[in-house]
Amino acid sequence: MYALTHALIHTDSQCLTDQALLIDGDRIVGLQPQQSLPPTLPRHELAGCHLTAGFIDLQLNGCGGVLFNHSPTLTTLHTMHQTNLRSGTTSFLPTLISAPDETICSALSAVKSFMTTQADHVLGMHLEGPYTNPQRKGIHPLPQLRHPTDDMIDFLCQQAPWLRKITLAPEQNRPEHIHRLKTAGILVALGHSAANYQEAMDGFAAGIGFATHLYNAMTPTLNGREPGVVGAIYDHPCVYAGIIADGHHVHWANVRLAHKVMGPRLCLVTDAVAPAGAPAGFDQFDFCGTQVFFRQGKCVDAKGTLGGSALTMIEGVANLVRHVGLPLDEALRMASLYPARALGVADRLGSIAAGKVANLAVFDADFQIKATVAKGQYHALST
């Protein structure tokens, strides 16, 4: 057992001072006044830094110079995890965009193997496509987009919990397929969709519970007569959504509007690719056959199409505070508690509470990560 002391501790509802957080093994024991700690108890003093639940990224294509699509292996997952720890992210969904069935199977096998020892860090795979709409394909390779077969739906349903989330276009998929995926325990998300309002609402009724990168690769509210996918998301009382707060994918005013409408159903995601957390000079890479360039903070192909982001979760939190105007506590919930709820893991992750997994992040007033705690193991970042 040890204690984390002299920190501003952000729980799911308040910010505490003069409290110490006790950790035993991989679990949070609880909070108690600092002055009541036994003098012999080991401790890490955090010098007034912020202490919060570790961030949970529901959409991470790659980081640290690697891409899961390029190499869906244990080595790639290890690199992504170690890179994440430097930005306060302690849990994530490795994301595979539209790919052949063989690649999907290989990626699921790697995720399954990694989760046997790191289940609270990798929470399962996010399969983004290939069952999406070519009209809204974004950077996804057009030859890979297709309709699922009954046999493939059977296979995917059998992969839960290694397959935790799947993004598809409701207008391209049968409602019974969506229902079966949801019943299997997979979070079905709407994304890369040209659906109208009614098609989106029908998808929600069939079992879709999430929207992938809100505003991006989906039909907007065109006018008062056609709300589009965005309007359907806003109009539904239960659907969660991820949003990329990098200043390139979504205007800050639209992030603010989304938060006003959705509140605790809006989750910060990065949609990050290889340049996120990579060494300086990493300025171009291949993303499923498309050359992507990292320029002026954006990841774009030769035509200017966005191909993921270089955002980290701590940078996203900082942007939500500095540019969107959200309170820090709410920005932290968007990066931890709300993703945990969306994924159904809030009983063990996403907030600081007794009995939960000790996945934590420590950052200073300038939003610089100083340390992370991963399943109880304290990791200080070297300066």
Say whether pLDDT at 268 is over 90. Answer: yes
Tell me if 2-52+355-380 shares its fold with 55-343: no
Please list the alpha-helical segments (H only) found in the chain.
74-85, 101-118, 150-158, 175-183, 197-206, 228-235, 252-262, 313-319, 328-335, 337-343
Average pLDDT over residues 305-330: 97
Model pLDDT, residue 312: 98
89 and 53 Cβ atoms separated by less than 8 Å = no
pLDDT-derived band at 296 (thresholds 50, 70, 90) equals: confident
Q: What is the CATH number of domain 2-52+355-380?
A: 2.30.40.10
50 and 364 Cβ atoms separated by less than 8 Å = yes
**Positions marked catalytic:** 271
> Does 3.40.640.10 match the CATH number of domain 55-343?
no
Tokens at 281, concatenated: 């000079």
Give me the chain's average pLDDT, please.
97
306-317, pLDDT tens digit by residue? 999 999 999 999
pLDDT-derived band at 71 (thresholds 50, 70, 90) equals: very high
How is the chain split into domains, by residue range? 2-52+355-380, 55-343
221-243, pLDDT tens digit by residue? 999 999 999 999 999 999 999 99
Across 71-107, b (16+ Cβ under 10 Å) vs e yields bbbeebbbbbbebbbbbbbbbbbbbbbbbeeebbebb
Go through the chain and tell me how many residues it has.
383
Say whether pLDDT at 266 is over 70. Answer: yes
